[in-house]
Every structure is written in structure tokens, then in C-alpha cells.
């Protein structure tokens, strides 16, 4: 079955530590995205990538970094520079055809303790 | 500046009645619109879409209406069922070549049995 997998589902981090969230897809989608969800703020775009070894900042990229070394994988690192990292993080993928939507992963809940 | 707005954070409807979820947008270049449904601690799942060349699209109990002149779209669910209780996001994209979607803040629908 094709899909998009995020791991872990729950993650706890101490203040000052970097942490990496995994996102893998076997849908052969060219584009991948990271969104953050906070209560009352909808989904906000952190980073996206349309091709291997290339990625673009979204609306709230500060304090985050990504890599796209393989088409299937788009890990997100939440660095210690991110001031308010506790949130629900969603990874998505899509084709590059106009009018196609995203397939989302099941999300990772990050809590800073 | 919120380009996609869902002004009602929550909505309660009796089972069997119609649910109407609304979404407004500001960018006249948006040409494709999606609705996603999201349960807590899960990723959003695609519900229904509409292209700007149409004003209505139906899929079973779900119908999306687009009013381009008013920059407004709505999702109708008839009849509403308790399993429809979730957060609904509308999303819009423009033909900029980035294939990005901008999401609204979501409306929490509660269907009362």
C-alpha cells in the first residue's frame, strides 16, 4: 500500500536540544511539505521541496531545517533556535500536476519539556 | 495576512440535518480549492475539490459550491452524521508553479446524535 509515514507519533524534547522528525513516502510524489498546526491557527507551511536536493522556505521557516537527499524522504529538524516548538507537525506529499491535492501523514506531536 | 479564512471556528448541527461550512479567500488568482477533514492527532484526509472553472462539485453527501465573484466557497454535508464530527479545513492554490496550498484556520464541526 502506498502512503506517507511520519515517525515518531509522539516526541519529547528538552529545551536547547535539536530533534529530527522523519517523513517517508512511497507514492513516487515529487513534492513534499512540512506544516505545523497550532490551535486556532490552521496549518502553516514550514518548508517544501519539489525536487531532490532542493527545498524552499515556507511562511514560518525560522528555527527549522530540512534536507531532501532522496525523493522518498524529507526529514525536518527542529533546532534549539525555534522559540515555540511544541506543536503538531504534519508532513505531506503531492505530484506536480495542477489540481492535485496533498496526501498527509498521520503527524508527530512534539512537546518541549 | 490570511488569504484563506474560515470565520466560524466551530459549528454544531443535529444529526440528519445539513451542515454548511464556509470559506472566504482574498486572492483572485486562486484556481483550485480543496476541503480536508481532520480528526484529532491524525493527518487531514482529502474530502472534495473544485476547480475555478466550476461552481459546484458533488460527491455523495458532500457538495462544494464556489462563488468566484464573492471569493467564497462552502461545503454542504447532507445528511450530517455523528462520524462527520471533525475539523474541516479549506485550502486554495494559485497557478504559480509552486503547487502550494494555503489553508484556512479550520472549522470544528460537531454533529449531535
Q: Is the Cβ pair B100, A101 closer than 8 Å?
A: no
Q: What is the pLDDT of residues A69-103, one digit of tens each?
A: 999 999 999 998 888 899 999 999 998 876 678 99
- Cis peptide preceding B80, ω within 30 of 0: no
Distance CA B68, CA B63 (A): 16
**Three-state SS at A84:** coil
Q: What is the dihedral of CA A69, A107, B96, B65, to 10 degrees?
A: 160
Residues in B closer than 8 angstroms to A88, CB to CB, are 41
Percentage of chain A surpassing pLDDT 90? 76
The pLDDT value given to residue A8: 92
First to last CA, chain B: 38
Least confident of A49-63, A95-109, B48-62, B70-84: A95-109
Q: What is the pLDDT of residues B20-63, one digit of tens each?
A: 999 999 999 898 999 999 998 889 999 999 999 999 999 999 99
pLDDT surpassing 80 at residue B69: yes
Q: Is the Cβ pair B46, A33 closer than 8 Å?
A: no
Q: Is A39 on the interface with B (CB under 8 A)?
A: no
Q: Which of A45, A98, A104 sits opposite B32 (nearest CB)?
A: A98
Chain A, nearest residue to B6 by Cα: A42
**Three-state SS at A42:** coil
The label of the residue with cell 534549539 reads A80
pLDDT surpassing 90 at residue B97: no
| Average pLDDT of chain A, as a whole number | 92
Amino acid at each position: 500500500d502506498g502512503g506517507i509515514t511520519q515517525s515518531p507519533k509522539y516526541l519529547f524534547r528538552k529545551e536547547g536540544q535539536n530533534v529530527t522528525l522523519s517523513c517517508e513516502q512511497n507514492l513516487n510524489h515529487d513534492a513534499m511539505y512540512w506544516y505545523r498546526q497550532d490551535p486556532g491557527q490552521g496549518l502553516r507551511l514550514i518548508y517544501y521541496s519539489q525536487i531532490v536536493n532542493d527545498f524552499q522556505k515556507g511562511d514560518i521557516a525560522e528555527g527549522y531545517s530540512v534536507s531532501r537527499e532522496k525523493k522518498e524522504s524529507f526529514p525536518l529538524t527542529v533546532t534549539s533556535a525555534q522559540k515555540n516548538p511544541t506543536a503538531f507537525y504534519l508532513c505531506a506529499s503531492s505530484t506536480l500536476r495542477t489540481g492535485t491535492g496533498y496526501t498527509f501523514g498521520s503527524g508527530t506531536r512534539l512537546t518541549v519539556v | 495576512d490570511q488569504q484563506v479564512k474560515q470565520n466560524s471556528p466551530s459549528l454544531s448541527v443535529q444529526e440528519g440535518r445539513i451542515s454548511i461550512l464556509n470559506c472566504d479567500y482574498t486572492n483572485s488568482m486562486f484556481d483550485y480549492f480543496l476541503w480536508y477533514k481532520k480528526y484529532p492527532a491524525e493527518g487531514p484526509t482529502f474530502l472534495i475539490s473544485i476547480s475555478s472553472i466550476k461552481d459546484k462539485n458533488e460527491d455523495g453527501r458532500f457538495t462544494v459550491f464556489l462563488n468566484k465573484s464573492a471569493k467564497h466557497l462552502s461545503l454542504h454535508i447532507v445528511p450530517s452524521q455523528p462520524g462527520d464530527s471533525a475539523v474541516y479545513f479549506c485550502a486554495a492554490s494559485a497557478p504559480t508553479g509552486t503547487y502550494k496550498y494555503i489553508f484556512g484556520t479550520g472549522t470544528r464541526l460537531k454533529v449531535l446524535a
